[in-house]
A = this chain, B = another copy of it.
Amino acid sequence: MTLTGDLLIGGGRVPATAGTMKAFNPATGEFIEPEFAFGGPAEVDRGLRLADEAYDSYSHTGLEERARFLELIADKLEAAKDELAARTSVETGLPAAQFAGEAVRSAGVFRKFAAVVRQGRFLQAAIDPAQPDRRPTPRLDHRLQKVALGPVAIFGASNFPISYSVAGGDTASALAAGCPVVLKAHNAHPGASEIEGRVIQEAVAESGLHAGVFSLVRGSGNEIGEALVDHPLVKAVTFTGSEAGGMALYRRAQQRPEPIPVFTEMTSVNPTFVLPAALAARAAEIGTGLVQRGMYNVGQACLKPAVLLAVEGPGYAELREAAITEVQKWEARPMLTPGIHDAYTRNARHHQDNGAVRLAEGAAPEGSEGGAYGQALLLEVTGEQLLAEPALREEVFGPALLLVKVADTEQLLETARTFRGQLSATLHADTADRATVEQLLPVLERRTGRIVFNAFSIPQEVSYASTHGGPFPATSDSRFTSVGMGAIERFLRPVTYQNFPDDLLPQPLREANPLNLWRLVDGELTRQ
């Protein structure tokens, strides 16, 4: 497909109204053709009016029709995977093979949501039949299903240009819920965004859906994102990125005349706790695993295990040595954008200003100094330092890892209590660590959306039991996940139909259960 650089609004391609940009190759420092259009509030308005027009028909598509649409996106995404991977590689400086895999996984996510749609459990159909003879008052027939919220604004993320961007899980789950999508493409990968966006746009057209089901806009600064969040027709927002960016959008949306749900996934250091027996038994394995997991995607991953805490004692020196050896093997690689690289350098320096000792760094390849190359970095502090300086518990986005040498298990528990909300926490523990594990688990449960036992979690699973969420500031609403089948719940609300004649009820609620759904009838799950 030849990139045109246009915005994709409804079924059409819309040229620039507010200037243009070119993509940047962080590996070479060069700009790449073609020019990509910037739009403004007028294009946002146009996309949202179309999305609002599309809502009535799209939110009422049959489950089978909607599932097939999602599968068509999956097929087209897979068909475009080599082209998409090649372009994404140029726009990120990361290997094409990584993105071919990411495209296949994203296609898989659309297929999984197609299955979710077909199962229809997301509708949470519930029926409380009439009880005309109930005293003192009869009960009317009540039937509940979930319906789509309305048009959703999705901000593409920079760090995973497919799976957290245009054809990512946010789009898949919003479309699965029956919500039209207006997507703000991230300027770090405009070509990848266009390929993904056109895949979805084509699938909309071939499925015979209203063209307003999907639009893609792009802008030069904050204005376009603000126009999107402010627009009265937007009914929900998703964002993955920095705490500052996420909170600005969140607070803005809450000050609208009509506040709307905003799910932002922001920051997490995913602390790893290594308990004494595990440390004594597997120090080198853990130290190596930490670095291998931590360097994935040049450390630009929400689940990077950024902080590892272990009690000083048998194994600690060995863990440190293993981590040092592994970090030294890592060659610097281009980071996603020059801005991210600058922030990385600055934040890594701040950690050292705050007392973190540099244990090791990765190699800097010939000629990488002037570019946006992120150099691996292993830092160390004591538990006491971590307790005293909150900034050391904050994220350094990029290939930096922090070892924390903790005095004893008492101090380990104390440090655990100081962390803000996290996407995940990891425990490495053996049988002899049981008593400490039992003390630590409730502390971690309060602060995280996921607890991992004796593993470095790779990659993010997209399944029914996934949680990619957690207490603030990991996300802005811990009640939801942005990854996994539960992500659809962000975009649904209940509606009750009371005393309806059967033939006016939505299909999922009709007496004969024509869709063969699991439904809650008088509080009992049944397919009858």
B-contacting residues of A (Cβ < 8 Å)? 55-56, 60, 101, 115, 119, 121, 126-128, 136-137, 139-140, 142-144, 147, 149-150, 250-251, 254-255, 258-261, 437-438, 441-442, 445-446, 448-455, 457-459, 461, 463-467, 469, 471-473, 476-481, 485-486, 489-490, 492-501, 504, 518, 520, 522-523, 525
Q: Are B523 and A485 in contact (CB under 8 A)?
A: yes
Q: Are B495 and A465 in contact (CB under 8 A)?
A: no
Copies of this chain, tallied across the complex: 2
Please provide the 8 A-B residue pairs with the shortest distance between their CB atoms, ordered closest to farther.
A254-B254, A142-B465, A467-B496, A144-B465, A126-B465, A478-B493, A450-B496, A128-B463
Q: Once the chains are docked, how many angstroms separate the CA of A484 from the CA of B498?
A: 14
Given A254-B254, A495-B448, CB of A522 within 8 Å of CB of B144: no
A489 closest partner in B (C-beta): B479
Question: Can you list 24 A-B contacts (CB < 8 A)?
Answer: A56-B442, A56-B446, A126-B465, A128-B463, A137-B458, A140-B452, A140-B455, A144-B466, A144-B467, A147-B445, A250-B254, A250-B259, A254-B255, A259-B476, A449-B496, A450-B497, A453-B497, A455-B499, A457-B498, A457-B499, A464-B520, A466-B496, A518-B525, A525-B525
Q: Are B520 and A457 in contact (CB under 8 A)?
A: no
* Given A115-B523, A126-B465, A479-B490: 19 more A-B contacts, CB < 8 Å: A56-B446, A101-B136, A128-B464, A128-B465, A139-B463, A144-B467, A147-B445, A251-B254, A258-B473, A261-B477, A437-B504, A449-B495, A450-B498, A451-B497, A452-B498, A464-B520, A480-B493, A480-B494, A486-B494
CB distance from A452 to the nearest CB of B (A): 4
A258 closest partner in B (C-beta): B472
Given the complex, which residues of B lie within 8 Å of A523, measured CB to CB?
A: 115, 119, 463-464, 485
Q: Are A467 and B451 in contact (CB under 8 A)?
A: no
Q: Once the chains are docked, how many angstroms separate the CA of A455 from the CA of B461?
A: 47
Given the complex, which residues of B lie within 8 Å of A136, measured CB to CB?
A: 101
CB distance from A163 to the nearest CB of B (A): 14
Given the complex, which residues of B lie within 8 Å of A139, measured CB to CB?
A: 461, 463
Q: Are B128 and A453 in contact (CB under 8 A)?
A: no
Given A479-B492, A479-B493, CB of A465 within 8 Å of CB of B259: no
Q: Once the chains are docked, how many angstroms separate the CA of A451 from the CA of B258?
A: 22
Given the complex, which residues of B lie within 8 Å of A142, measured CB to CB?
A: 461, 463, 465-466
A441 closest partner in B (C-beta): B504
CB distance from A253 to the nearest CB of B (A): 9
Given the complex, which residues of B lie within 8 Å of A448, measured CB to CB?
A: 495
Q: Are A479 and B437 in contact (CB under 8 A)?
A: no
